[in-house]
Amino acid sequence: MHNRVTLISTFDDNNLEKINFYIKRLNEKLCKVPFGKNINREIADTLPYHFTLSAWNIEEEENVLKRLSKIKFPKLKILVNNVEIMNGKENSYVLYFSIEENEKLKLFQEQIYQILPSERYNPKTFKFYITIHIDKDYNKIVTMKKQILQIFKPFELEVDTFSLYEIYPAKIVKQFSSKTDKDYLKKIGLTTINKFFAYCQNEFQYGWIDQSGNKHSGVNDAKTYSLQAPLELLKNHLGICWDMTELYRYWFNLMTNLKIETYYIFYDDNKGCPSHSILVFYNYDKVYWFEPMFTDNNCYYSGIHEYNNISELLNDFKNIFIKYSLQNKTINSNYDINKFYLYKYMKPKYHINGYEMRQHIDNSALINRNI
């Protein structure tokens, strides 16, 4: 049961790698979730490494979203200057990276604070930090601190994206990016849904990128496949539905205030397991299937398709997928209807391989749909 929403920094992979350079020295199972939440802390620990700007009661989510949409999100540089320990809840100890005072960050947090002021996040006393691990074993925490400090040097992180999450467990509500990315999308003309659709329909080829950055055509290899970040896909112009769906997610989150969801369907034949992922968006009282991916002669359903509700859309998605798969002979005519699986999934981590992507989806919400 979610009881809070929190606004946190979202570091890209390059900046997370700077953090992980020190984290990977710790031969311990880490957990960033505070004690006292009446949940399984390890299972709930799904947020990436971050610093927090503020948090609000879940009842204020809609109000907070409206207020956040009016704020200009900056691109920030912060300096991680030390590794420290502080007291946590229920006689626990928090190991964390401390962040040097930063006037630009402080001014930004003051804007966030004014949305719904809470003394805990008062800019005059609030301290920014990145939690590494929380534990009740003080000696363990001290040992971990010493391990990091053996090689620690202050390092700079950049952040231009911030995410609003429901917690716990963590569920992303919306991402907010700096104006820099919006300017780039405007520069290449991706200012409306229809223009973005046309761009996606005409500018991308079917293929995939491996973990070393090499380009490949055809069906991906699950072990070496790498899920591209949206800006990488905009550069490579080569991807599969997983990559394209993350580009759609990125664009809709950045350029609209519309509610979006992503879905994945696959047929479990213990062989190729044909599959497809899509993005849907809600506008007024309708829901739309955004499908610009396939434009060759074998695809007859490219478009932005309108439905009265999500159940109607998903049933059509499943029927179209079956019809398309039969036409292209990726499933047999005597297919087993019980081997189709439909999932609703959240944003995955970039650069994971195919097995990790499937694991991410398998841990998402399974949806039953009758044909």
Query: Which pLDDT value is given to residue 359?
Result: 94
Distance CA 84, CA 81 (A): 10
Percent pLDDT > 90 in the chain is: 65
CA 170 to each of CA 88, 124, 162, 177, 268: distance values in angstroms, whole numbers, following the listed order: 20, 28, 14, 19, 29
Task: Categorize the per-residue pLDDT at 295 as very low, low, confident or very high, splitting at 50, 70 and 90.
Answer: low
Q: State the average pLDDT over residues 116-126.
A: 92
| CA angle (272, 275, 276) in 5-degree steps | 150
Please count the residues of the chain.
371
Is the pLDDT reported for residue 371 higher than 50? no
Query: Which pLDDT value is given to residue 296?
Result: 52
Is the pLDDT reported for residue 235 higher than 60? yes
Using one digit for the tens of pLDDT, what is the confidence trace for 309-331? 999 999 999 999 888 888 878 77
Using one digit for the tens of pLDDT, what is the confidence trace for 198-222? 999 889 988 999 888 889 988 888 8
Task: Categorize the per-residue pLDDT at 162 as very low, low, confident or very high, splitting at 50, 70 and 90.
Answer: very high
Task: Categorize the per-residue pLDDT at 191 as very low, low, confident or very high, splitting at 50, 70 and 90.
Answer: very high
Query: Which distant-in-sequence residues (6+ apart) come within 8 Å of 185 by Cβ?
Result: 191, 251, 254, 255
Using one digit for the tens of pLDDT, what is the confidence trace for 78-109? 999 999 999 999 999 999 999 999 999 999 99
Torsion of CA 48, 54, 154, 34, to 10 degrees: -60
- The domains of the chain, with CATH numbers, are 4-177 (3.90.1140.10), 187-367 (no CATH)
Query: Which pLDDT value is given to residue 180?
Result: 64
The winner for highest mean pLDDT among 79-88, 337-346, 362-371 is 79-88
Query: Which pLDDT value is given to residue 10?
Result: 94
Q: State the average pLDDT over residues 158-169.
A: 90
Task: Categorize the per-residue pLDDT at 299 as very low, low, confident or very high, splitting at 50, 70 and 90.
Answer: low
Using one digit for the tens of pLDDT, what is the confidence trace for 6-41? 999 999 889 999 999 999 989 889 999 999 877 888
Please state whether the predicted TM-score (pTM) of the whole model is above 0.75.
Answer: no
Nearest residue to 112 via CA among 65, 76, 80, 175: 65
Could you tell me if 198 and 302 are in contact, meaning their C-beta atoms sit under 8 angstroms apart?
no
CA 189 to each of CA 44, 177, 178, 180, 221: distance values in angstroms, whole numbers, following the listed order: 40, 18, 18, 14, 33
